[in-house]
Amino acid sequence: MWSVRTAARPFSPSRRRWVQGAAASTAALGLGLPHIGRAADSIKVGVLQPLSGGLENLGQQGVQGTQLAIEEANEAGGVLGRRLDLVIADDKTDPKTAVERTRELIQRDQVVAIFGPVTSANRDAIQPTIDRFKTPLFYATDYEGGVCDRYIICYSGLPDQWVSPFVPFLRQNYGDTFYLFGSDYVWPRKMNEAVRTAAEAAGGRIVGEEYTPFGVKDFTSTVRKIEQSGATVLVLDVVGADAITFVKQFVAAGGKTKTKLAWLGYSENYIPGLTRDESEGIVTVANFISTLQKPEARAFVTKVRKRFGDRAIVSNTVDAHYMLARFFIEGVRRAGAVDKEKIIDAVSGFSLQSGNGMVRLRTEDRHADLNVVIAETRDQKQTLLKDLGRVKASNQCKT
């Protein structure tokens, strides 16, 4: 368990920050609020995020989004007359650690639900534990699809929602030859399967595909292969600090002058780690961008920065975790009891206002119908290229 030190600072791929040391006992996030109920009567909510190990930028964003929703609920009087307390754990971007921390959250800390993690590898690793202890997992990271489990609720961009509209846009606007480069784990591989299918359906060709383990520092050979392939579009799904390292080398070698960089999973998190030249022209697909000119988007950005500071990064990750935490809170209210099974039954089948339109959490597969945008970075800000509106994915229990 870890004690929380929230710091809304720009992402630096070399800095492990935000969590500052281990606590001797449960690290509940106490929220100095009016009399909602004694601490012993609080509802404990687990957060399992990578706060070290290379993906801490995403972990910080996930914690902040969850925390903001929990604080709002407490400030409004709690849920069912009880305060919500966060118990935060670091999975270290490691599946084995994720399993250990999940067991601790459930057995030692007695949480009623867990929010996280980031990687599909960690999610898949903890799924048997989640199922064994029948504890709902609220997963708010875009992923490859296919999860059908009573105890896993997803607010996630799926290939149907991201890849299916994005790849034809890339084919139409930037060219018909694609090079696919991702981190070597399940999410990039499955996303690239979907990219291949969509590209070929749109009349495009895959001219190269490659995966990298975590922690690589020299991407010279990959940059050379991309150049030699003649690809007009590079689809990048490398994650975390490795992505920053690669993009710097790719741009320095002149890669962007010949190949459009289309980055899956890219968000405002990465922009501070890149120079203006390095980030300029990167195109992506997301559920939310902080520069979206909609009242709900402006209100959400204002809310986040009021809580975490003017320099707080407001990304798709923050919005997704904030929204899924709100669905959980509303589910507890509708259940009328702090009962895991009742909460799962009550948490879906209704819509809430997100930072980008109304979002519905579906009962049939516990996934969300999301609003989707395509954006390009210009002058180190995300610029809207196309608003796709609500995009429904196929039923993940029938795939």
What average pLDDT score do residues 376-390 get? 97
Quickly state the pLDDT bin for 296 (edges 50, 70, 90). very high
- Residue 394 gets which letter from DSSP? P
Q: Bigger pLDDT: 19 or 203?
A: 203
Mean pLDDT of the residues in the chain: 91
The predicted-structure confidence for 154-180, as pLDDT tens digits, reads as follows 999 999 999 999 999 999 999 999 999
- Answer whether residue 305 is part of any domain: no
CB 173 within 8 Å of CB 219: no
Residues 39 and 141 in one domain: yes
Domain count across the chain: 2
Q: Is the pLDDT of residue 39 over 80?
A: no
Residues 143 and 105 in one domain: yes
Between CA 166 and CA 174 the distance in angstroms is 12
Residue located via tokens 């990219």: 195
Residues near 50 by beta carbon (within 8 Å), at least 6 away in sequence:
56, 58, 59, 90, 91, 92, 93, 117, 118, 119, 122
Nearest CA to 151 out of 100, 97, 114 is that of 114
pTM of the model: 0.88
Between CA 184 and CA 270 the distance in angstroms is 20
Domain enclosing residue 181, as ranges:
163-291+374-391
- Answer whether residue 310 is part of any domain: no
Residues 25 and 114 in one domain: yes
State the pLDDT at residue 54: 84
Residues 287 and 321 in one domain: no
CB 397 within 8 Å of CB 307: no
- Answer whether residue 238 is part of any domain: yes
- Residue 224 gets which letter from DSSP? H
Quickly state the pLDDT bin for 20 (edges 50, 70, 90). very low
Residues 175 and 277 in one domain: yes
Residue 191, SS3?
helix
What is the number of other CB atoms lying within 10 angstroms of the CB of residue 90?
Answer: 24
What average pLDDT score do residues 188-207 get? 97
- Answer whether residue 137 is part of any domain: yes
State the pLDDT at residue 31: 44
What average pLDDT score do residues 327-351 get? 98
CB 2 within 8 Å of CB 47: no
Q: What is the DSSP string of 19-84?
A: EEEE-SS--EE----SSS--GGGPEEEEEEE-SSSS-HHHHHHHHHHHHHHHHHHHHTT-BTTB-E
What is the number of other CB atoms lying within 10 angstroms of the CB of residue 6?
Answer: 15
What average pLDDT score do residues 285-309 get? 97
Residues 15 and 145 in one domain: yes
- Answer whether residue 398 is part of any domain: no
Between CA 266 and CA 229 the distance in angstroms is 23
Kindly report the length of the chain: 399
Quickly state the pLDDT bin for 317 (edges 50, 70, 90). very high
Q: Is the pLDDT of residue 33 over 50?
A: no
- Answer whether residue 123 is part of any domain: yes
Residues 28 and 103 in one domain: yes
What average pLDDT score do residues 216-237 get? 97
- Answer whether residue 304 is part of any domain: no
Alpha-carbon dihedral angle through residues 246, 180, 92, 215, given to the nearest 10 degrees = -40
The predicted-structure confidence for 59-96, as pLDDT tens digits, reads as follows 999 999 999 999 999 999 999 999 999 999 999 999 99
Identify the burial level of 51 via C-beta atoms within 10 angstroms of its C-beta, where 0-12 means exposed, 13-18 middle and 19 or more buried.
buried
- Answer whether residue 307 is part of any domain: no
Residues 209 and 122 in one domain: no
Residues 235 and 282 in one domain: yes
Q: Is the pLDDT of residue 226 over 90?
A: yes
Residues 114 and 84 in one domain: yes
What average pLDDT score do residues 264-270 get? 94
Q: What is the CATH number of the domain that holds 327?
A: 3.40.50.2300
Residues 151 and 22 in one domain: yes
Residue 118, SS3?
coil
- Residue 256 gets which letter from DSSP? G
Q: Is the pLDDT of residue 143 over 80?
A: yes
Residues 195 and 93 in one domain: no
Prior bond to 295 cis, omega within 30? no
